[in-house]
Structure 1
Amino acid sequence: MTESSTENKPVASSATGSERRLYIALGVLALLGGALYLQTEGKKAEIKSLSGEVAAATLPTLSVAESIKDNATKIVIERPSDAAEGAAIAPPERHTLVKEGAEWKLSEPLSALANQTNVESLLSSLPKLKIKEQISSSAESYAQYDLSDDKATHITVFEGDKVALELFAGKSGGRGQTARLPGQEGVFVIDGYSSYLFSRDTKGWRDTSVLKFETEKVTRVDVVNENGAFEFKKEGDKWSGRFKKGKAGALSAIKDFESSKVDDLLRAYKSLNATGFGDGKSLSDTGLDKPLAELTITIGDAKTQVLFGSNAEGSSRYAKLPEGSEIYTISSWASDWAFAEESKFQKKKDSGED
């Protein structure tokens, strides 16, 4: 029995050695496999990186200098009309902005002073435009991305006679803003594009400011309307108020006059903006041939007057400045002061008072 056990020991030792060699072989194989995998993945990453570099190198560029803000002379924006579904396709809306001296003016679809801030915001955004990637190389994709001639927003910016930038903007989605370039077939994604800067309607491109002044410098306010005439004068840091009913008679102190009401009036006019315009309407159409109310604001020796006519949209009123031809529409929040009754400037009575 002892002899038999002694004879079996080398067999057990031999089997253990074989298993050890097998494990070593498997370990070496695993290391080789891991090395091969890492080498393959590295090659893939390298190829991908090189492909990206090649793709980026072949993309067109939008090189708009910061100087565009000072050197631009004309901007033309054509965008599709917002036609109702099923309606006939309307011609695109075309807005042309031209720089005259230091000011931008709207020359198409009508002639008017432009909103300087809105034009400057657009120009400031142009140097930030960058082409990020190309998602199609075929013109057949234009309709899919709203880049066909009847769907795209066409933007052209000039420096003198030279085109500084031209592009067509289409849909904006998860990948970004799509665009196409003239003479370059394909659909691109661009960074830095803010659609609201380019999609304003005519009113958005016009200067809507009517009045702007510092209330602290106002020394006198006069109001004339169908109720009578008001005269307000600054006395120290308070206002005095006088009123005469109708056209006859003399001005007399307003009973229970509340000085702060004049301050409220001035707040409504200190940065007065039009809510719209009376384009195509005559003075007689708007009641401005015979104004229904007049508001005069005096600062030192300078007087600024606003004339008011009949009702426009809703409760707003048509208005104009005596020296200008532009007809505005003014919200009731401001225009109601020009049509005020005496009670609007009086202290409110307590409910218990007669």
Structure 2
Amino acid sequence: MRNTLILLLIALAVGAYVYVYEYKGEEQRQKIKEREEKLIAPEKEEISSWEIYRGGDHYKFVREDGHWRITEPVSTGAEDVTVDGFLRDLTSAKKIRTIHVTGKDKTPYGLKRPEVRIRVEAGAEHDSVFLGASSSFGDNIFAGKGDSVVFLTGAGLKRKAQKSLFDWRDKKALHFEKDAVRRIVLKSPRGAYEFKKAGVSWKLTRPVTDKADPGAVRAMLNKLDYANVLSIEAESAEDKKSYDLDKPAYVIELYQGENQSRSAVAFSAPRGKMAYGKDEARPQIFKVDTLFLEPFNKSLFAFREKKLTDFGTASIRRVTLLNDGVFMEFKKDTSSRWIGVNDTLEARDIKVTTLISAVSGLRAASFVAEKPKSLRRYGLEKPAAVVELFIDDKPEVRLEFGKVHGDRRYVRDALDGRVVTVKEKDLEDILLTHDQMYKTK
């Protein structure tokens, strides 16, 4: 029994040794090996600041509140994705081959006066690497750390280090949280506009009150969120007049969140194919092309929602159509087919369905009057046709059709009173006759 216990203890001790030395030890040795193979010791997430010297250029970067800033040669924001991408390449770069050059001249390796020098800090730890000449061994370069050892590493790292100040810096015209924007105020050569978000939709509140075209609002926000400036023209805005920014042609103000925090950017009138701009919160003056300004250089018509109706086609249960002096009414039966009311003929189900779809897609070609006192001039005092769509007892849609004007026809939305024009060809599936709506015997 005693011998068995001793053997068991020995087996446990051997097992513990194997686990600690072979498994855990191997894991630790692998980590040490991987760290020794790295060109730079710190991990990307550990780096708090770093510098790069390239020719006569010196750039210094500092991490602040999770973002990178350039502190030398100017103080400005850095482009996080560019900096993080380079640091990812730097901290994952490997020593492909080691060459001992004790007492030898480093000139053949391009390391006597290295083209690129990089220094990183990670808390109390710091590390440096020098990038030298290209090697004849594949797509590699020589690199060193200031001692008697030269390494081969991938040439891609050096290529990615060949960036100008503009390449490294933040290129956004304006910083804001797109999803948090609740109000937009725009001044442009076309006029002054104000937009407010109501739920998930946008409304125009100036110069008229109406639904805003969601695509037009989205285009403005996307341009500011995704597009980059072309260049930085001045590090300070002391001379706004030289850039036509003392009296800007465009001013865009974004109000975000419940507290309506404000971000604003101004642009000059175009000079040829270019224009100048300035973020109110930053000193720099930048340049953009005129394509940048297109989403903001729109008419009131372009900013308004052109869609005349907003309903779910499947929710409509009853349709009435007055056209050519004939009144027609249709209801959905229990099998969701359309039937005529008070008519001996069989209704054409597809015609009713198509009519509803056409009304759903009807768009204004122009906005004529909001609530005109007189409808006679539009032929709407006694409409030529009327369409009503019902979900329940109250009409969801009531459109009155007046006289034809060129290739357009006047239409009045009886529920809000405004008069618009629509293209006559868009009414081909709406203004249907009795013969078109019913099957003949």
The correspondence of residues 1-354 of structure 1 with structure 2, limited to 5 A, is 35=108, 42=115, 52-53=164-165, 64-66=175-177, 68-73=178-183, 75-80=184-189, 92-99=190-197, 104-116=202-214, 118-123=216-221, 125-128=223-226, 130-131=228-229, 133-135=231-233, 142=243, 149=247, 152-159=249-256, 163-168=262-267, 179-181=277-279, 184=283, 186-189=285-288, 195-235=293-333, 236-241=335-340, 252-254=343-345, 258-279=348-369, 282-311=374-403, 313-346=405-438
Q: Secondary structure at the match of 2:436?
A: helix
Cα-to-partner distance string for 1:288-341 (whole Å, 9 max, x where unaligned): 233222112222444334232323553332223333122232333453455432
Relative to structure 1, the CA distance from residue 218 to residue 112 in structure 2 (aligned partners, 3 Å threshold; closer, same or farther) is: closer
Residue in structure 1 matched with residue 45 of structure 2 by the alignment: none
Provide closer, same or farther for how the CA distance between residues 187 and 196 of structure 1 changes in structure 2, counting only shifts above 3 A. closer
Structure 2 unmatched ranges of 5 or more? 1-104, 118-130, 133-158
Q: CA deviation at 1:164?
A: 0.9
Q: Provide the residue aligned with 2:88 in structure 1.
A: none
- Contact map agreement 1:114 1:205 (CA 8 A) in 2: yes
Q: Deviations over 1:176-214 (max 9, x none)?
A: 985344584644359xx8544323321222122322333
Instruction: Find the aligned partners of 1:287 and 1:338 in 2 and give their Cα distance.
Output: 18
Distance in 2 of aligned mates of 1:219 and 1:39? 85
The secondary structure found in structure 2 opposite 1:311 is strand
Superposed CA deviations along residues 139-173 of structure 1, whole A, max 9, x for unmatched, are 68747xxx7857x4332323567531213166699
Separation (CA, whole Å) in 2 of partners of 1:240 and 1:179: 61
Change (3 A) 1:185 1:135: closer
Evaluate the alpha carbon distance shift between residue 227 and residue 334 of structure 1 in structure 2; reply closer, same or farther with a 3 A threshold: farther
Structure 2 Cα separation of the partners of residues 334 and 288 of structure 1: 19
Given residue 221 of structure 2, which amino acid in structure 1 is its aligned partner? L
Do the aligned partners of 2:173 and 2:224 also contact (CA within 8 Å) in 1? no
- The answer to whether the 8 A contact 2:176-2:263 is kept is no
Any conservation in 2 of the 1:76–1:156 contact (CA below 8 Å)? yes
Secondary structure at the aligned position of 1:207 is classed as: coil
Identify the structure with bigger relative contact order (alpha carbons < 8 Å, sequence gap 6+).
1
| Residues 292-301 or 122-131, more deviating | 122-131
Q: Is the 8 A contact 2:192 2:206 kept in 1?
A: yes
- Percent identity for Structure 1 against Structure 2: 21
Letter in 1 for 2:344: A
Query: Is the Cα contact below 8 Å between 1:224 and 1:338 reproduced in 2?
Result: no
* Superposition deviation, residue 63 in structure 1: 5.8
Letter in 2 for 1:274: A
- TM-score, normalised by the number of residues in structure 2: 0.51
Structure index of larger Rg: 1
Alpha-carbon distance between aligned partners in 1 of 2:313 and 2:181, rounded to the nearest angstrom: 37
The change in CA–CA distance for 1:166 and 1:226 in structure 2 (over 3 A counts) is same
Match of 1:247 in 2: none
Q: Which runs of 5+ in 1 are unaligned?
A: 1-31, 81-91, 243-250, 350-354
The number of equivalent residue pairs is 288
CA distance in 1, matches of 2:233, 2:391: 61
**Structure 1: how far apart are the matches of 2:166 and 2:202?**
42
Q: Distance in 2 between matches of 1:140 and 1:39?
A: 48
The 10-residue stretch of structure 1 (259-268 or 108-117) with the greater mean CA deviation from structure 2: 108-117
Bigger drift between 220-229 and 298-307 goes to 298-307
- Give the 3 Å change call, closer, same or farther, for CA 207–51 of structure 1 in structure 2: closer
Report the aligned-residue RMSD.
Answer: 4.6
